[in-house]
Amino acid sequence: MDKPNRILVLFAHPALEKSRVNRQLIRSIQGMESVTIHDLYEHYPNFHINVKLEQELLLAHDIIVFQHPFYWYSSPAILKEWQDLVLEHDFAYGHNGTALRGKKVLSAITTGGTQEAYCRKGHNYFTIRELLAPFEQTAHLCGMEYVPPFVIHGTHQLQEAHQIAPYVESYQKAIAMFRDNTVDWQTLLQHKHLNHYLEHVSNTLESPLHVQ
Amino acid sequence: MSNENFFFHAFIYLAAAVLTVPISKRLGLGSVLGYLIAGVVIGPFGLRLVGQEGQDVMRFAEFGVVMMLFLVGLQLQPELLWRLRVPILGLGGLQMVANVILLSGVGIAFGLSWQAALAIALILPLSSTAIGVQTLTERGLMKTEGGQSAFSVLLFQAVAVIPILALLPLLTTSPAAVSAATTSSSLAGWQQTLLVIGTVGGIIVGGRFLMRPIFRFIAATRLREIFTATALLLVIAITLVMQIVGLSPALGTFVAGVVLAESEYRHELVSTVEPFQSLLLGLFFLSVGASINFNLVFGQPMLVLGLIVGVSILKSGVLIALAKSFRMDLSQSILFAFALVQGDEFAFVLFSFATQTNVLPEQLAGILIAVVALSMLLSPLFMIAYDRLIQPRLITQTEDRDADEIDDNENAVIIAGFGRFGQIVGRLLLANGYSITVLEHNSAQIELLRRFGWKVFYGDASRIDLLYAAGAAQAKLMVVAIDDSEQILEIVDLTRKYFPHLKILARAVDRRHSYELIRRGVDVIQRETFESALSMGVEALKLLGVRSYTAHRAAQTFRHHDEEALHDMAAMEGDDSALMARSRQLSQDLEQILQSDEQEIKHEVDRAWDILAQQKEKK
């Protein structure tokens, strides 16, 4: 097996102590080998982002995960500040800005609204992929590959631990697959969401077992 | 007692304690058992090093019990008493009633007169506060549910002794003795009652309004030994007054303790009185050990053994049944029962009082005293059985319970110094629902803060015993916010040595002081004027036309860099020889900050946020 992919989770949640889903997600990947969790609000309570340190972190990892709740169709403010400051000209983009080329970017987000709300007929009108376009295009401009996002919808309805558990499990599994490079990237890119790909994988895995 | 004799006996007692107690403690038997055994060894039935004068010593040592109740009172605030009212009245009262009914029934069945049976039944259910509290605290079980319940019962009993003392003379079989016993107070019943109410009321009022100004006056002298003398004087004065009106001195000091628990001198008083109390209490246990009359025991071994076993089973049976009906789980119920199974030191007083008033024959009282003393000797063994046999088996059940134990006023944060600096820290914590313990050395400042409703305690936080009394062993954070730089270092050193679990947040007076603190590995260091000066700098930049956000960010960069430089220089300082460092320090400080900052700020501009924004616009 190749060297495992090093994963940097840039985590942004301004009130983690009140979070239910994100807290469990982050806990499930804590301490995993080759996975670095970087809690932005904890590091920079006054938004004074250490650009140099952040750029070094990026360079030291292969896959960047933006994990955050979906606020006003985007990320919490600190992640925008992070993008504004860290993705500098001549570092991330521009003629000489090739530092991030070839890395992969994943958005892992939670939304209060249901999946049905994010379509032309729903009250959010746009789809998640449409709304995530700034992240996708930012990745492209920096020469990185934007993989389909991991999305948990309807977090308001997820009150009980047993309702959250399946999502936590599949998130953990996805991170492990990314790290161990056991993802069929071509097939993954055909899906709108990472979640769909994971379902697809577990179905194809299970069926031969059932036959036996 | 001649001088030589006094020193000889002091030598015997102290030597016995010093030899036996550490061994007993090392063997896991606890200090109480150590003292008791030492007492037996030096007593008339051991090495005969103490004889009749042991009785005098015991009377003197009973003062230890009085002091203990003063301390117990000090650690109990009226709020806590109120919160424990259900266990105190419920558990304490029911325990007494059930035992009295059962024991007097047994006594009558064995052919005693009902008066004698009732007298015994009133005395035997009492449990020793000294042993109970000592063994529970020693094992850290005081805050468990069982420990708190046991404590509540002990409190009830401490008060119950008073009516029992009043009741005993009424049970006499020969009326002649009554007059003899009551001549000590030639007052009529209602006068006696008035006197009692008046005395206790006097202690409460005096404690509330008189003692605080006196302590404030004494504290202002900053003479520690005078404070100690005042504390001892207070306890002795109350003891004397209570003896004159014929009440239990323990009750008086307990009440005084509760009253003073609300005052700012609480922690200081605890740490002052505690050493005396511990020594005297040890002496008390020693003399209990020495006073066990083994002639009586060996004369009727089966009777004594039967009584001990019978009474122990009956008492613990009642206690466990009560605990179960108060919904305690099994392990806590057993802890509760075992902490209270022993007889009470007041039993010695009450039994001898009962013989004086002809309620009990002397022979019977002697045997019962031996039974109580032996049960005290055995009680640490019960606790050892609990530690070794019962708790390990039931531990899974108690784990959850221990987490939300009843809080006993120990806060997670101790703030030393509550002046301009400490107040802001404290107010922020309080506003966010964290409770704090504040220690302040300036009695005028305390007075002012108390008037505004702040809970502040008098004391010098560089004293280890005071930190213990303030709950440093249980706390999580130690905020050192006093203004004396030497004293800050002293407190930091002490805290690191004695309470290594505490995270230390220290106020740094100046740069040099910061280096000292950094080298001591203090968790959080805050230079006292740095943040406000920085904010002032931001305002100045703004008035010079710099945009607000840019000025704000410049200040953050400055802070970040300055803190780094501070740590670098603190490390450098260690390499230089002390003398060189000191001579160069001041000039070096200033120069280095200015130079390094200038460079760094230039550097910073290259990649500053607004430059960045312009680049992006071009894109």
pLDDT digits 0-9 by tens, B40-49:
888 877 777 7
B65 pLDDT more than 80: no
Q: What's the number of domains chain A is made of?
A: 1
Do residues B406 and B432 touch, judged by C-beta distance below 8 A?
Answer: no
Provide the pLDDT for residue A118. Answer: 94
B591 pLDDT more than 60: no
B588 pLDDT more than 90: no
Say yes or no for a CB contact (<8 Å) between B619 and A89. yes
Average pLDDT on B599-616 reads 44
CA distance B556 to chain A (A): 7
Do residues A148 and A186 touch, judged by C-beta distance below 8 A?
Answer: no
In a domain, A1, yes or no: no
Closest B-chain CA to A81: B609
Q: Give the pLDDT band of residue A1 (cuts 50, 70, 90).
A: low
- DSSP string for B86-137: HIIIIIIHHHHHHHHHHHHHHHHHTT--HHHHHHHHHHTT---HHHHHHHHH
pLDDT digits (tens, 9 = 90+) for B358-388: 888 878 888 888 888 888 877 777 878 887 7
Say yes or no for a CB contact (<8 Å) between B615 and A89. yes
For residues B343 and A128, the model is more confident at: A128
In a domain, A13, yes or no: yes
Q: Looking at the complex, does the CB of residue B613 fall below 8 Å from at least one CB of chain A?
A: yes
pLDDT digits (tens, 9 = 90+) for B553-585: 888 888 888 888 888 778 775 555 553 454 455
Q: Which of B161-170, B180-189, B368-377, B535-544 has maximum average pLDDT?
A: B535-544
B80 pLDDT more than 60: yes
What part of A 63-92 touches B (C-beta under 8 Å)?
Answer: 84-85, 88-89
For Cα atoms A74, A78, A81, give the angle at the middle one, nearest 5 degrees. 95
Provide the pLDDT for residue B115. Answer: 85
Say yes or no for a CB contact (<8 Å) between A48 and B609. no
Structural domains in chain B, sorted by start = 3-403 (1.20.1530.20), 410-528 (3.40.50.720), 530-619 (no CATH)
Nearest 10 degrees: CA dihedral of B163, B166, B167, B170? -170
Residue from A17, A87, A88 whose CB has the most chain B CBs within 10 Å, to mutate: A88
Contacts 24+ apart (CB under 8 A), B106-112: B106/B310, B106/B314
Q: Cα dihedral sign for B587, B592, B595, B601?
A: negative
Provide the pLDDT for residue A141. Answer: 95
Contact residues on chain A for B613, CB-CB shorter than 8 A: 84
pLDDT digits (tens, 9 = 90+) for A122-133: 999 999 999 999
Contact residues on chain B for A89, CB-CB shorter than 8 A: 612, 615-616, 619
Contact residues on chain A for B616, CB-CB shorter than 8 A: 84, 89
In a domain, A2, yes or no: no
Token code pair at residue B426: 């404290």
Average pLDDT on B491-504 reads 91
Average pLDDT on A64-76 reads 96
Closest A-chain CA to B552: A48
CA distance A127 to chain B (A): 28
pLDDT digits (tens, 9 = 90+) for B276-335: 888 888 888 888 778 777 887 888 888 888 888 888 888 888 988 888 888 888 888 888
What part of B 549-568 touches A (C-beta under 8 Å)?
Answer: 553, 556-557, 560
For residue A158, the domain's CATH number is 3.40.50.360
Say yes or no for a CB contact (<8 Å) between A88 and B607. yes
In a domain, A101, yes or no: yes
Provide the pLDDT for residue A210. Answer: 45
Q: Looking at the complex, does the CB of residue B327 fall below 8 Å from at least one CB of chain A?
A: no
| β-pairing verdict for A104-110 and A63-69 | parallel
Dist. CA B267–CA B271, nearest whole Å: 6
Q: Looking at the complex, does the CB of residue A140 fall below 8 Å from at least one CB of chain B?
A: no
Q: Please report the ipTM that was assigned to this predicted complex.
A: 0.74
Dist. CA B4–CA B148, nearest whole Å: 45
Q: Which residues, including other chains, have CB under 8 Å from residue A169's CB and lie 6 or more apart?
A: A28
Residue from A44, A48, A53 whose CB has the most chain B CBs within 10 Å, to mutate: A48
CA distance A48 to chain B (A): 7
Provide the pLDDT for residue B189. Answer: 61
pLDDT digits (tens, 9 = 90+) for B109-120: 888 888 888 888
Which 8-state DSSP code applies to residue A71? B
Provide the pLDDT for residue A206. Answer: 60
Average pLDDT on B83-104 reads 86
Provide the pLDDT for residue B13. Answer: 85
Dist. CA B127–CA B66, nearest whole Å: 16
Q: At what angle do helices B224-244 and B266-291 cross, to 10 degrees?
A: 60
What residue numbers bound the domain in which A75 lies? 7-211
Provide the pLDDT for residue A76. Answer: 96
Cα–Cα separations (whole angstroms), residue A50 to A44, A46, A54, A67, B275: 8, 11, 6, 19, 54
What's the mean pLDDT when you consider all of chain B? 78
Percent of chain B's residues with pLDDT above 90: 10
For residues B184 and B84, the model is more confident at: B84
Provide the pLDDT for residue B51. Answer: 66
Say yes or no for a CB contact (<8 Å) between A84 and B612. yes
Contact residues on chain B for A84, CB-CB shorter than 8 A: 609, 612-613, 616
The two counts, helices (H) then strands (E), for chain B are 30, 6
